[in-house]
Amino acid sequence: MIHTTNTIRVRYGETDPMKYVYYGNYAEYFEVARVELFRTLGMSYDEIEKRGIFLPVSEYKIKYLKPGLYDQLLEIHTYVKKVPGVKIEFDYEIYNEDKIKITEASTTLFFLDAETNKIVRCPDFLLDLIKENWKE
């Protein structure tokens, strides 16, 4: 398994009139968390794309447990629990400043060859990084 943690402070423009995080902004929080997970492994999203691999989202599931609020510091835990094949699955948990879990989510992305526009298996350069950082 791979597990990373990132924090995001909720900005005013990300909230609705109740000062709750607008539901659509969670997808962006998860994208930030995924990008940082790859950076932690030693490769930026930009480098993955430069090597000819795109990672489109094919599935997104979320459960809102409690609202995130304006100016809260949210802690996003991101997990990869299965070694990827043609897809990579991410699980997320968001905790507020009181360490209360407020959101659970998952995304599934697939590996797409940028040149042929075909789905491919996880490229070796990325699979090697994942395996190097895998914790049981």
> For each of the chain's 136 residues, which pLDDT tens digit applies?
999 999 999 999 999 999 999 999 999 999 999 999 999 999 999 999 999 999 999 999 999 999 999 999 999 999 999 999 999 999 999 999 999 999 999 999 999 999 999 999 999 999 999 999 999 8
Q: What is the pLDDT of residue 52?
A: 98
Domain of 44, in residue numbers: 2-133
pTM of the model: 0.95
Spatial neighbors of 12 by CB under 8 A, at least 6 apart, are 70, 71
pLDDT of residue 136: 80
Number of domains in the chain: 1
Return the CATH number at 28.
3.10.129.10
Q: Could you give the dihedral angle defined by the CA atoms of residues 34, 130, 55 and 15, in that order, rounded to the nearest 10 degrees?
A: -10
**8 A C-beta contact, residue 122 and residue 55:** no
**Pick from 11, 10, 30: nearest CA to 93:** 30
